[in-house]
A and B are shown apart, each in its own frame.
Chain A
Amino acid sequence: MSKEEIYERLNKVFQDIFDDESITVNENTTSDDIEDWDSLEHINLVVAVEQEFGMKFNMNEVTTMKNVGEMVDIILSRISK
């Protein structure tokens, strides 16, 4: 799966979770950029991303992930294995 495809699918997950079709994420997107992205919604986002890509984040990754770019790097490394 290419990075572009991952972003495309990730966008859809973000749009669903925050119920906002205008959302477009890029590598620099953080929780500051999306109004409803608080710590509680973050959990649901992580679960939805895991289900979308059939992978799991480990605890260390979830706590250190700083932006969507890092999230995509983890997804990429996990599904290319």
Chain B
Amino acid sequence: MKELEYPFDVEYLIKNKKKIKKELLLKPGLIEKKIAILGGSTTSEIKNMLEIFLLNYGIKPSFYESEYNKYYEDAMFGNPELDEFDPDIIYIHTTNRNIINYPTMLDDETVINDMLEKEYQKYEKIWETLNAKFNAVIIQNNFEYPFYRLLGNKDASNIHGKINFITRLNQKFYDYANQHKNFFINDINYVSSCYGLDKWANQFYWHMYKYAMEVPAIPYLAYNLAHIIKSIYGKNKKAFVLDLDNTLWGGIVGDDGVENLAIGPEVPSGQVYLEFQKYLKEYKDLGIILNINSKNDYENAIAGLNHPAGLLKPEDFIIIKANWNPKNLNTKDIAEELNLGADSFVFVDDNPAERQIVKSYVDGISTPEIDAPENYIRIIDHNGYFEMTNFSEEDLKKNELYKDNAKRSQMMSTFDNYEDYLHSLEMKAEIDTFKPIYLERISQLSNKSNQFNLTTHRYSLADIEEVNNDDNCIKLYGKLEDIFGDNGVITVVIGTIKNKVELHIDLWIMSCRVLKRNMEFAMMDELVKRAKERNIESIYGYYYPTLKNKMVKDFYDIQGFGLLSEDEEGNKIYKLDISKGYINKNNVIEVRKNE
């Protein structure tokens, strides 16, 4: 919904949130999550705004809200209502209003250091207590700056200053965040700066209603928080689809000629596009995939991208569509060729008409409302499309992986027989029970995989850690490499043993990067082998249809299971008897264990 993307109309959101909520609740495929808000000030409107932003991301939240300023009591001493609620996410909404002791000019350094440690320890105890009790992700506000400075500019550098104290306290929060994986900082210090601290800290709202920021600022706070939550549940964007003329450079390459484009350091209009190219290149280095969708002759597009002053070159893009087809069709083709859902894309085009057609025909795509080129970066940035929560090594390699895939497709066309092609790839797989170093990637994969996903169960890192410690589970990951490169961890199977002789498959997922490589058969062979070692007699498979996983609706039939039941919604239960033998299916991948 366009109204819920930055830049938004706060007045509209405050007035219409109930209508918006009703409309969004009709969306199919919402995932339900339980969010506990532990507040050090009023949180009612924060909850309301967070709710509509999350619904827009496909997440349907239910809430527990602590009584006014009872965040500490709820966390430290427990509360039956909170216990029963059993949150997936705990959001601790504290602000500088909750800092109890600030240094005075009479305090010496030791006293101030003690004070800092004491203030910090209060929070660390809260996090540790919640962590021991709940299997939940914790999101903690850092502190915004105070709205006055007793020492003036020295408030920042002098240890007696409140700004100095808050800066040091924030740093301690970050140190904790860097050492704990299921813990995230909601950076209200940054959000309040962007909003404008004087407005943010409007005293009226504190003294009237005990809101720690003015009510019109709340959508910005809630949006920022929603970015973290949607990222945890795998709703980040993965790729850009970019226009060229007046988006990546000023001017129209076909009309003006390459030499007359505005790009490069000489003139202001060239600088602004160069900076935008630099921003996109930084994303590419983070593993975000860049593609082109431009109404241009192909030769002109390439000539423009080879402009000596430009930073982005043709090889920085995975797919370049430069033709005269409607942009919605090009976008769909790009999605298909990359095997990514259309909702994984951000479409950047200076032309509102092109944005409109793409938005209307490509479901779930984001089309930021960019206006002047000097605003492109801010508008894209503030939408948090690529919020980094669980960042894995795999992400950095993503562009290479997609490039390798393009080479594989080329090679495939030289073989008549598909199995010959598979053999020629010289595939080697590593299949083994979960290893600590892979848990983060496994959780990420469970949240990102939509198409090759039999049950669409999502696992946070905390959930995966729980599975890893459960001896009653058989849990396998698979890595695959071939002559073109290493794909990393691309498939996961989790099964639970019941009644001693039954294995029920809770999760079977695979990255679409490795479709049709027979990796699923290698996984099945290994699963059966390990099931037999545990004296399992039969394996039960489940298929729950979603809008996106039709690809695997006959997966268990292909694996040789028998159908036990199918209900009206298409949910299917399968069974495979392995007590009387099983014949391995994979003969193209060499499988080994982790050494």
| A residues at B contact (CB < 8 Å) | 13, 16-19, 39-40, 43-44, 47-48, 51-52, 58-59, 62-63
Contact = CB atoms under 8 A, between A and B. Distances in A.
B11 interface: yes
Interface of B: 10-11, 14-16, 18-19, 22, 42, 44-45, 204-205, 207-209, 211, 215-216
A47 B216 contact: yes
A19 B208 contact: no
A59 B215 contact: no
A59 B208 contact: yes
Contact of A19 (B10, B19, B42, B205): B19
24 contacts: A16-B19, A17-B14, A17-B15, A19-B18, A19-B19, A43-B205, A43-B208, A43-B209, A43-B211, A43-B215, A44-B14, A44-B215, A47-B14, A47-B215, A47-B216, A48-B15, A51-B10, A51-B11, A51-B14, A51-B216, A52-B11, A59-B204, A59-B207, A63-B208
6 closest Cβ pairs, A-B complex? A19-B18, A16-B15, A51-B11, A40-B44, A47-B215, A43-B209
Given A59-B204, A62-B208, A43 B45 contact: yes
Contacts of B10: 51
Nearest to A36: B18
A13 B15 contact: yes
Most buried by B among A13, A18, A19, A58: A19
Nearest to A44: B14
Contacts of A40: 42, 44-45
A19 B16 CA distance: 8
Contacts of B204: 58-59
A43 B204 CA distance: 11
Contact of B45 (A19, A44, A58, A59): A44
B535 to A, nearest CB: 58
Nearest to A56: B204
Contacts of B45: 40, 43-44
A79 B428 CA distance: 75
B208 A48 contact: no
A58 B175 CA distance: 42
A62 B209 CA distance: 11
Contacts of A51: 10-11, 14, 216
A19 B18 CA distance: 6
Given A43-B211, A44-B215, 19 more contacts: A13-B15, A16-B15, A16-B16, A17-B15, A19-B22, A39-B209, A40-B45, A43-B45, A43-B208, A44-B45, A47-B216, A48-B11, A48-B14, A51-B10, A51-B11, A51-B216, A59-B204, A62-B208, A63-B208
